[in-house]
Amino acid sequence: MLNFNSEPLSDRVIVALDCDKKRAFELADMLSGHAKWVKVGMTLFYQEGPAIVKELKDRGFNIFLDLKFHDIPHQVEGAARSAISAGADMVTMHAIGGVEMMKAAKKGVDDAAQGNNPITLAVTVLTSMNKETLNATGVSGEIIDQIRRLALQAQEACLTGVVASPHEASMLRELLGPDAFIVTPGVRPKGASLDDQSRVMTPKEAFDQGASHIVIGRPVTGASDPRAAFDEIVKGL
């Protein structure tokens, strides 16, 4: 069984490389030996393809491949299989795709895992959304109720965990149990710009609320000294 509880918090801070390849490699070189995880999202992956995953793994990082699969089950199964074959250690899919889609993704991951234990995460509600923007999509009620529904469906599909804002981490920890991976973007050091995020907390607050991992991007990657910025965040955990 996958277990994060024995890992230090410093190894559970994921740096989002939402940039081009040249900058990603510059950041990787600066963060080598400091950060354990980096996130490859759509910007970088769609520019460079699966090779970017291998190149970053060769630099010693674990790779969170955040492509948020959302399609019919057959397509998602194939996408998940390809992502793990490329070397991803953690992948995401939209929980709103339903239990059968998530089960298909899990099958694709398991088929390609070759004895490894990749982490499968369901994205619940994007951290850029608030109640008004969620309701405008046709989902009525409170954000936390939608997240609870989707998290239980992810659990039914036997995924490793979920992605949600730190504001829901405490509820999710109680709902899903001590071993569930709860990965929280929407994390900003005190005083940092919120950018396009709506539901945020500081890194320490997110871990205190029950996050297993936090994702942080621009406060590190946009800093004049990214390594110092990362180390300062870790120091405050």
Just list the catalytic residues. Answer: 68
In 18-129, where do the E strands start and end? 37-40, 62-69, 90-94, 119-123
- Residue in 68, 57, 67, 72 with CA at minimum distance from that of residue 24: 57
Encode burial over 90-124: b for 16+ CB neighbours within 10 A, e otherwise: bbbbbbbbebebbbbbbbbbbebeeeeebbbbbbb
Taking the alpha carbons of 88, 213, 1, 99 in that order, is the dihedral positive or negative?
A: negative
Per the listing, tokens 């948020």 go with 68
